[in-house]
Amino acid sequence: MSQAQNLIAKPALPGVAVLMLLVGNAGAQGIRLWASATVVEPTITLADVADLDGLTRPQAETLSQVVIGQAPRPGGQCTIHFDELRQSLRGAGVSLATLRLSGAARCVVRRAAPLGPIEPETPLSGPTTQPADGEASDAAARVGTLHAAVRDYVRQDLASVGGEVRVRFSRPTRGLLGLAAPAYRFEVRRRSDRQCGLVSFEVDVIPNHPDGNRQRVELVAEVSVGKSVVVARRAINRGATIGSRDVTTTMRWFDRLEQIGLCDLAAAVGQQAGRFVPAGEMLRSRDVRPVPLVRRGELVTVYSRSGKMVIKTVARALGEATFGQPVEVRNESSGQQYVVQVTGPQTAEAGRSPR
């Protein structure tokens, strides 16, 4: 059995499937338990309460469905302790010898109705703008509304991820989302570790008049991220060198950050395919094997940026490097030696921070 075949299922008893993780890249495989999570289903799965790192796609898909426990009633909460996580994994037949378990000592799990809010005990009053079903209308999402406050919070929360952000609410939230300034101001906080998918928010609604009382409400929204990702334009065989005609970019939406694949064509072109990639399928970092894009002695096109100006020069490589790595080069005319970062086949950029 090859080292890459890390996840198998074999029967231990009639009718019982046992998952077994074999040794292979064990140091990179891990499960990180969150401190809090929100679910809507009656059962809690591993994907609901933890991140899965360094696993192959079959491993992640299989492990994510492992049931950790029963969810509380809608609106209630329960606690999943680290030892319960271990026991559930062992009960599913998962070998913990090859997994690195980390994260919080316990995860507080709250159950909410899909996309539905928990209404405040005391009705809120004041000027509102009514949003449409699903995503709010432009008028409802204008600056100063509760909808805009949640949307802006999510965009800031995911700023490091980049791309576009979509926040969707259900019909029952319309009365709250339309609350607007100047009558109110809002303080928004995320209640769970999860940034995408079904996300629970806690909002303090603060009246801007002395007789009003601060009220705390809870909202649940479906958050997704749109990113331009690298996909196979045509089928790519395992071990083949990926060419510029083999891949393209397209916009796709994700409800889990770990699902996002490569976003830069330069990270794929010139690399070796680590598996067969069907046409139209997204490429992830684990799908490509780095190969040197610059080799010792080759002439390298170097781009230097100064403000809005881009200067193009040619230098000779004094070593070899893969995509994103630094390599020392020498200007053949002046003899000056300096370090650049590889950005593509025989291409580099000066003054760029290594990735």
**What's the chain's length in residues?**
355
Which of the pair, 191 or 247, is modelled with greater confidence?
Answer: 247
Q: Is residue 353 scored above 70 in pLDDT?
A: no
Q: pTM of this prediction?
A: 0.58
* Mean pLDDT across 180-184: 84
Number of H helices, E strands in the chain: 5, 22
Q: How confident is the model at residue 141 (pLDDT cuts 50, 70, 90)?
A: low
Query: Tens digits of per-residue pLDDT, 68-114?
Result: 999 888 778 899 998 999 899 988 888 888 788 888 888 888 876 54
Q: Is residue 252 scored above 90 in pLDDT?
A: yes
Q: What is the pLDDT of residue 35?
A: 83
CA 298 vs CA 60, 311, 346: distances in Å: 41, 20, 7
The answer to whether 316 touches 297, Cβ cutoff 8 Å, is yes
SS3 assignment, position 188: strand
Helix (H) or strand (E) holding 37: strand 36-39
Q: How confident is the model at residue 142 (pLDDT cuts 50, 70, 90)?
A: low
Q: What is the CATH number of domain 7-111?
A: 2.60.480.10
Which of the pair, 6 or 354, is modelled with greater confidence?
Answer: 354
Q: What is the pLDDT of residue 10?
A: 37
Give the lowest-confidence range in 58-67, 74-83, 210-219, 269-278: 210-219
CA 314 vs CA 249, 297, 306: distances in Å: 29, 12, 17
Which of the pair, 324 or 98, is modelled with greater confidence?
Answer: 324
| CA within 13 Å, CB half, 297 | 0
Q: What is the CATH number of domain 299-350?
A: 2.30.30.760
Question: DSSP labels for 38-83?
Answer: EE-SSEEEHHHHEEEES--HHHHHHHTT-EEEE--STT-EEEEEHH
So where are the chain's domains?
7-111, 227-289, 299-350
Please state, in angstroms and rounded to a whole number, the distance separating the CA atoms of residues 87 and 78: 17
Please state, in angstroms and rounded to a whole number, the distance separating the CA atoms of residues 194 and 255: 10
Q: How confident is the model at residue 164 (pLDDT cuts 50, 70, 90)?
A: very high
- DSSP for residue 210: T
Q: What is the pLDDT of residue 59?
A: 79
| CA within 13 Å, CB half, 102 | 9
Q: Is residue 66 scored above 80 in pLDDT?
A: yes
Please state, rounded to an integer, the average pLDDT across all residues of the chain.
Answer: 79
Q: Which residue has the tokens 């539905």?
A: 116
SS3 assignment, position 13: strand
Which of the pair, 39 or 12, is modelled with greater confidence?
Answer: 39
Q: What is the pLDDT of residue 12?
A: 35
Please state, in angstroms and rounded to a whole number, the distance separating the CA atoms of residues 332 and 342: 18
Give the lowest-confidence range in 131-140, 179-188, 294-303: 131-140
Query: Tens digits of per-residue pLDDT, 221-235?
Result: 889 999 999 999 999
Q: What is the pLDDT of residue 215?
A: 84
The answer to whether 289 touches 277, Cβ cutoff 8 Å, is no
Q: What is the pLDDT of residue 186?
A: 92
Fold of 227-289: Type Iii Antifreeze Protein Isoform Hplc 12 (3.90.1210)
CA 267 vs CA 31, 225, 271, 342, 351: distances in Å: 27, 21, 8, 10, 19
Q: What is the pLDDT of residue 168?
A: 86
Please state, in angstroms and rounded to a whole number, the distance separating the CA atoms of residues 206 and 218: 14
Q: What is the pLDDT of residue 67?
A: 92
Q: How confident is the model at residue 327 (pLDDT cuts 50, 70, 90)?
A: very high
Q: Is residue 282 scored above 90 in pLDDT?
A: yes
Q: Is residue 140 scored above 60 in pLDDT?
A: no
* Mean pLDDT across 307-332: 90
Q: What is the pLDDT of residue 189?
A: 93
